[in-house]
Amino acid sequence: VPTGLTVDYAGRNSAGLSWSGGTSFALQWRPTGGTWQTVSGINARNFTLTALTQNTTYEWQVRELCNGGAASAYSPVQTFQ
């Protein structure tokens, strides 16, 4: 499970997220209480979310994608605004 989840910055319409772990990841994010959106095949330990809405709280979590189609559990949910 990825660790060290950090919000590097949260701007007007974007947020930079980072974490520690392996080499390939899936990221889930949503406005609090909304529907999860998934971004798979991230081959870095960071990702920038764009087209966000100001003054909205977002939740996010990351899991590691392993060889052979296996995956870790998702990290605990983190939030930012």
The per-residue pLDDT for range 16-35, each reduced to its tens digit, is 999 998 899 999 999 999 99
The per-residue pLDDT for 68 is 83
Q: Other C-beta atoms within 10 Å of 49: how many? A: 19
The per-residue pLDDT for range 37-76, each reduced to its tens digit, is 999 999 999 999 999 999 999 999 999 999 888 999 999 9
Note whether 58 and 45 are within 8 A (CB): no
The per-residue pLDDT for 10 is 94
What type of residue sits at position 54? Answer: Q
The per-residue pLDDT for 59 is 98
The per-residue pLDDT for 69 is 83
Q: Is 35 exposed, middle or buried (0-12, 13-18, 19+ CB in 10 A)?
A: exposed
The per-residue pLDDT for 78 is 97
